[in-house]
Amino acid sequence: MPNETTRGSLNMETETNTLLDSRVPSGPLEDKWENHKFSMKLVNPNNKRKFDVIVVGTGLAGASAAASLGELGYKVKAFTFHDSPRRAHSIAAQGGINAAKNYKNDGDSVYRLFYDTIKGGDYRSREANVHRLAEVSTNIIDQATAQGVPFAREYGGLLDNRSFGGAQVSRTFYARGQTGQQLLLGAYSAMMRQVSAGSVELHTRSELLDVVTKDGKACGIVTRDLLSGEVSAHSAHAVVLATGGYGNVYFLSTNAMMSNVTAAWRAHRRGAFFANPCYTQIHPTCIPASDDFQSKLTLMSESLRNDGRIWVPDAFDDSRPAHEIPENERDYYLETKYPAFGNLVPRDVASRNAKNVVDQGHGVGPLKNGVYLDFAAAVERDGQDAISAKYGNLFDMYESITGENPYEVPMRIYPAIHYTMGGVWVDYNLMTTIPGLYAIGEANFSDHGANRLGASALMQGLADGYFVLPYTIGDGLADQLGNPAVSTDDPVFTNAVSAIEDETAKWLSINGTRSVDYFHRELGRLVWDHIGMSRNKEGLEKAISEISALKEEFYSDVRVLGSADTLNLSLEKAGRVSDFFELAELMAHDALKREESCGGHFREEHQTPEGEAQRDDEGFAHVAAWEWNGAGSLQTRHVEQLDFENVTLTQRSYK
């Protein structure tokens, strides 16, 4: 909302000693989930049909959750702002999905996947959640294969695996370079089966604009029909947010251009704590920006680092084409610096090193803003047909965008925003601090700590949707048996609908001089410059000041054309960008408060002599979860202490 009475600058200096209860069950790590499933309250099959559940978002997490809950017998309403669930951003995932099957017999196990994920996240995630993720990973592959997902297979017919960053085993299952799309088609098919059966009611082109609560509990949502402009209320016994991450706060990212933070942020304004917003992931293999007017960046799968070698010229500002630079004048900097993992170091490590060599003047390409990813050795070793079988669609996509044939010349890559590890705080049951409101997949903060390993996003989304939430939601619903859902005629709904209609009218009445996209681009530059791959105190303080000033200009000078009663992209964007402004302020405050470097949060003041992230385990081995206290009010920083009973906190090393 553009008026200062409802949206003021965020001032977040309040500290608190409040410790959040993650509700992690007691007992040995390997037994926690199985014992918890037995100890939770159940809803018997005949009673499940008495409960209404809303699922917002129909990507991998949302579609799998809606399908599973519908199959169990709950009455589900699924909402997406796309014209089809198949357009969810999950389809953009290319390289694969991790699972501890150990098909390669190379030493993998549930514990090793757990350990690699904890270490990859720089020891900033819950042990219990990560071990549960590793446990159910094997079930995901069985489920997807039964649905017909066409995973790659070896010559003998067994499912194939390849390696990803941060691991020394091959545990990544893949469908060429289209893994996300194929998995989403499986989840979509399962959900549409329930739509046909009548247990899931699908609402397309509907965007969540508010979460409704009564007596402190979630009881429904308010949506806007993106085609007609109609604002409507929907009631349920429980609400599930599966709305993805907030990477588009940077404007330029690999995310789909409609991806946004609005659902999560509106829940935050209603009382859901927002955790670790400064934990954002930079993906090391993206096509570099070609000019200042670009509106999106394109991902090149991390799987390419299996066979591609990353290098830059030794010489400063070398403009020679790659084929004219001899081997002895090339710097394969990851292979040199990290011999044990080479080009398959975790994403945060690969990204920072790419930034360093480009900043030092060794960048390649017309704008000197990239590094090379070279497949010459792989093509010579295995042949072009073998490389094409693995990565053909990715090579074709690269050539169609750049006009360069990667079979003949190296790809040019550079890091870009790709994923967000921060998100809505949830307990072990995936419930937020609002009873009855759940968050799953990338929308929550729970499993990846300060850095996500490659091929783990699909794993978490499907784990939450297929195998975790269907158990835990029953524990929350059991005590509501016999209670009807709150009527949409209740004042909590009518007041929420009126507030959204008032907000819409205010956007249309400003009649300023600049477009929403102008402000989004300017905000993105500020966030990238100061809360991007590296941060420092001076830059973060500058970001807080400049974001606040730009936000006030946005509220007074944005121009939203059109009307409220029809398709209006400018109106949609205005609300989303308004939420991005508030989120960006919180990101800067969170990064400023966290006086350490860990994973994707790299404070320049806190690094080892070798330039690696230096944690402060005594001061910051915790989750920071922020509580909204009203626009312009002091925000409260709550803490969930992270206890490590099964791994030893050490300085990460991939050398």
Residues with a catalytic annotation lie at 347
Rounded to whole angstroms, how far apart are CA atoms 632 and 268? 15
- Using CB atoms within 10 A of its CB, is residue 557 exposed (0-12), middle (13-18) or buried (19+)? middle
Q: Write out the E strands in 259-322.
A: 274-275, 280-286, 309-313
Distance from chain centroid for Cα 19:
25
The two structure tokens encoding residue 486: 């709150």
Number of helical H runs and strand E runs in the chain = 18, 20
**Tokens read off for 301:** 């799968």
| SS3 state at 601 | strand
> What's the rounded Cα separation, in Å, for the pair 558 and 509?
10
Contacts with 408 (C-beta within 8 Å, 6 or more apart), sequence order = none
How far apart are the C-alpha atoms of 172 and 458, rounded to whole Å?
Answer: 11
Q: Other C-beta atoms within 10 Å of 294: how many?
A: 14
Q: What's the burial of 619, exposed, middle or buried (CB within 10 Å: 0-12/13-18/19+)? A: exposed
Q: Supply the DSSP symbol for 372.
A: E
Q: How far apart are CA 67 and CA 63, in angstroms?
A: 6
- Give the number of other CB atoms < 10 A from CB of residue 292: 8
**Distance (Å, rounded) from C-alpha 48 to C-alpha 76?**
11
Cα 577 to Cα 242: distance, rounded to the nearest angstrom: 20
Answer whether 76's CB lies under 8 Å from 201's CB.
Answer: yes
Q: Which one, of 371, 461, 360, lies nearest residue 416 by Cα?
A: 371
Exposure of 154 in the CB half-sphere (CA atoms within 13 A): 9
Estimate to the nearest angstrom the gap between the alpha carbon of 632 and the chain centroid.
Answer: 27
- Chain-centre distance of CA 415, in angstroms? 16
| Biggest CA-to-CA distance, the chain | 76
| Backbone CA torsion sign across 206, 515, 578, 510 | negative
What is the distance between the alpha carbons of residues 135 and 115, in angstroms, rounded to a whole number?
A: 12
DSSP reduced 3-state for 532: coil
356 CB-near residues (< 8 Å, 6+ apart) = 611
Which is nearest to 74 in space by CA: 596, 571, 470, 527?
Answer: 470
**Residues sharing a CB contact under 8 Å with residue 529, sequence separation 6 or more, in sequence order:** 539, 543
Spatial CA neighbour of 263 closest among 221, 228, 229, 227: 221
